[in-house]
Amino acid sequence: MGIDVRNDVFYRAARAGAERGIGIDLNSHRVHGLPPLILQMASRVNLFHLRTDADMKYLREIGIRDAESPEGNWVFRQYQIQPGGTVSKPFTGRLELPDWYLSQLSDT
């Protein structure tokens, strides 16, 4: 999120964006830190492995009922929130990255 909590441009864009036809893509290492309103407004969730599966409880609040995050490097699940609020069955995929890119990443 932004530096100034009272005038957070990302939060405001996510909140008012649908009214103005604006989409926003937010990413986070921890689900716990995202405001509940942002989670409630999500239309698509891509979930990679979480170091702390306790964060899954925050996703349960928006209808994602999995007990654990996906296992494995680059494995993810994608959920779509349907009109009316139901959550789709997850699509499971694996991100394919070239070796030249992977060699540049840090160990953490």
Q: Domain ranges for the chain, please list them.
A: 5-102
Burial, 25: exposed, middle or buried (Cβ in 10 Å; 0-12, 13-18, 19+)? exposed
The closest of 83, 85, 66 to 75, measured between CA atoms, is 66
Tokens of 51: 């170091």
Per-residue confidence band for 2, with pLDDT thresholds at 50, 70 and 90: low
Tell which wins on pLDDT, 38 or 90.
Answer: 90
- How far does Cα 6 stand from its chain's mean position? 23
**CATH architecture entry for 5-102:** 3-Layer(aba) Sandwich (3.40)
Q: Are 44 and 79 in contact (CB under 8 A)?
A: yes
In a 3-state reduction of DSSP, which class is residue 107?
coil
The closest of 38, 46, 47, 39 to 8, measured between CA atoms, is 38
- Whether 1 shows a pLDDT value over 70: the answer reads no
User: What pTM value is reported for the model?
Assistant: 0.76
- Whether 17 shows a pLDDT value over 80: the answer reads no
Could you report the per-residue pLDDT of 44-96, keeping only the tens digit for each?
999 999 888 888 988 998 899 998 999 998 999 999 999 888 999 999 999 99
Cα(104)–Cα(19) distance, integer angstroms: 40
